[in-house]
């Protein structure tokens, strides 16, 4: 019997077994067996290319958020709640076997949310689809590390270790060192540790904001909830009881640090209801491209009101860096 058939047999048996105290133990065993076979589905097959298939999901929208966590912490339940995409959830591990994208619409922005298979210790060394999952995490603007509030803190440090072992630095700022290999010129713009210096030379580090989301708080006491909620970069939620999801969105928005730009036409008020949403550090040229493909080539100058300029308005060129909530009026040749 192949793995898929075995899985299907177990699923059928679970479906026809009544749920009660007497069958609880048996159901538990069945679910453990199911998780074992599903984990085997995640293992890269020997016949396929040595690297195994990646999860190639097109980047879309204004930003990308990856859901990373151990199996069965509630990642898929969360995706199904926050987006119009349904991702299958189940009370057994390794329900999700691939990358499932959804879109969160928030404050006029489209945020791509990626549900991923659960990862386990050893993921970075290729356990399960660990490598592929981590590769997707690298492409995100923010990582949501989803944790089961009923489980201990080791889950958090284990996952952090996995990500750090492949050069993903969470909630750390990139060391401000300028390094140009050709000339071998090094300029320390701040005090740095040897490790930080090595990171810059090796050059494959990514620095990423990470939000620790403790799910299933409906299962723990108020005191425990309170304790988790006070941890840095952490939010407590319950997908099951839809608790604190609004607050999580607010935090996520903050961590994404997107820049909202308002346009205005000459002699008119700014279009405050229709912001252009860009990544941090976006220039006037980025704004032009967003309005119309050919606008940058017809560009003469722009007037900008807001925190990015010394005067309001100020005449600026294409390379000027915009800041959050600036207003811009573009003047064509
Ligand atoms: N009590 C409680 N259960 C939850 C909550 N959120 C999700 N669950 C349950 O947890 C189980 C796992 O949920 P999933 O969404 O499949 O978890 P996952 O992280 O996607 O799991 P994998 O895809 O297997 O890695 C399901 O039985 C959910 O119903 C919650 O807030 N509270
Ligand atoms: K699951
Ligand atoms: Mg899942």
CA-nearest residue for atom 11, ligand 1, is 91
CB 116 within 8 A of CB 144: no
How sure is the predictor about 191, in pLDDT bands with cuts at 50, 70 and 90? confident
Helix (H, G, I), strand (E, B) or coil at 46: coil
Q: Which residues touch 281 (CB under 8 Å, ≥6 apart)?
A: 259, 321
101 lines ligand 1 (CB under 6 A): no
- Give the pLDDT of residue 45: 57
Model confidence pLDDT, tens digit, residues 58-113: 888 899 999 999 999 999 999 999 999 999 999 999 999 999 999 999 988 999 99
Percent residues over pLDDT 90 in the chain? 65
Model confidence pLDDT, tens digit, residues 270-289: 989 889 999 888 999 999 99
- Give the helix/strand (H/E) hosting 81: helix 75-82
Give the single-character DSSP code of 283. Answer: B
> Which of 147, 157, 122, 143 is CA-nearest to residue 39?
122
CB 215 within 8 A of CB 73: yes
- Give the pLDDT of residue 320: 97
Backbone angles phi, psi at 318, to 5 degrees: -65, -25
Stated pTM of the model: 0.82
Average pLDDT over residues 237-252: 97
Model confidence pLDDT, tens digit, residues 258-272: 999 999 999 999 989
Task: Let me know if 92 is exposed, middle or buried by CB neighbors in 10 A (0-12, 13-18, 19+).
Answer: buried
71 lines ligand 1 (CB under 6 A): yes
Q: How far apart are CA 58 and CA 310, in angstroms?
A: 39
- Give the pLDDT of residue 49: 43
CA-nearest residue for atom 9, ligand 1, is 74
Q: 243 C-alpha to center of ligand 1: Å?
A: 14
Model confidence pLDDT, tens digit, residues 118-151: 998 888 787 878 888 998 999 999 999 999 999 9
CA-nearest residue for atom 8, ligand 1, is 74
**CA 251 to chain centroid:** 13
Model confidence pLDDT, tens digit, residues 149-186: 999 899 999 999 989 888 888 998 887 777 776 767 78
| Residue from 89, 102, 213 whose mutation best tests the ligand 1 pocket (most atoms within 8 A of CB) | 89
Structure-model confidence comparison of residues 193 and 297, the more confident one: 297
Token pair belonging to 68? 């990373």
Q: Which residues touch 235 (CB under 8 Å, ≥6 apart)?
A: 211, 212, 213, 214, 229, 244, 247, 248, 251
Give the single-character DSSP code of 231. Answer: S
**CA 28 to chain centroid:** 32
- Give the pLDDT of residue 55: 81
Model confidence pLDDT, tens digit, residues 20-63: 999 999 998 998 888 888 888 777 655 444 445 678 788 888 99
Model confidence pLDDT, tens digit, residues 8-17: 999 999 999 9
Average pLDDT over residues 183-191: 80
Q: 221 C-alpha to center of ligand 2: Å?
A: 23
- Give the pLDDT of residue 326: 96
329 lines ligand 1 (CB under 6 A): no
Q: How far apart are CA 245 and CA 178, in angstroms?
A: 40
Helix (H, G, I), strand (E, B) or coil at 160: helix
- Give the pLDDT of residue 262: 96
């Amino acid at each position: 019997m192949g793995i898929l058939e075995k899985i299907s047999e177990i699923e059928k048996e679970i479906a026809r077994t009544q749920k009660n105290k007497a069958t609880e133990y048996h159901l538990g065993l069945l679910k453990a067996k199911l998780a074992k076979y599903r984990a085997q589905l995640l293992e890269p097959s020997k016949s396929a290319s040595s690297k195994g298939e990646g999860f190639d999901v097109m980047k879309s929208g204004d930003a990308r958020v990856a859901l990373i966590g151990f199996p069965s912490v509630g990642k898929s339940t969360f995706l199904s709640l926050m987006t119009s995409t349904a991702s299958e959830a189940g009370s057994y591990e390794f329900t999700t076997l691939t990358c499932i994208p959804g879109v969160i619409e928030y404050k006029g922005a489209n945020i791509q949310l990626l549900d991923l298979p659960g990862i386990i210790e050893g993921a970075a060394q290729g356990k399960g689809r660990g490598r592929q999952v981590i590769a997707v995490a690298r492409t995100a603007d923010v990582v949501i590390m989803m944790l089961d509030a009923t489980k201990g803190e080791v889950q958090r440090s284990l996952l952090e270790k996995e990500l750090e072992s492949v050069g993903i630095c969470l909630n750390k700022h990139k060391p401000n060192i300028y390094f140009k290999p050709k000339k071998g010129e090094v300029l320390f713009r701040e005090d740095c540790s040897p490790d930080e210096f090595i990171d810059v030379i090796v050059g494959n580090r990514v620095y990423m904001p990470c939000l620790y989301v403790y799910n299933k708080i409906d299962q723990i006491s108020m005191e425990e909830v309170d304790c988790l909620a006070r941890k840095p970069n952490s939010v407590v939620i319950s997908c099951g009881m839809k608790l604190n999801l609004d607050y999580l969105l607010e935090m996520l928005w903050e961590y994404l640090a997107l820049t909202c730009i308002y346009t205005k036409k000459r002699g008119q008020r700014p279009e405050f209801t229709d912001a252009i949403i860009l990544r941090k550090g976006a220039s006037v040229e980025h704004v032009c491209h967003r309005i119309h493909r050919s606008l940058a080539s017809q560009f003469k100058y722009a007037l900008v009101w807001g925190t990015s300029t010394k005067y309001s308005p100020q005449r600026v060129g294409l390379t000027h860096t915009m800041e959050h909530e600036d207003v811009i009026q573009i003047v064509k040749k």
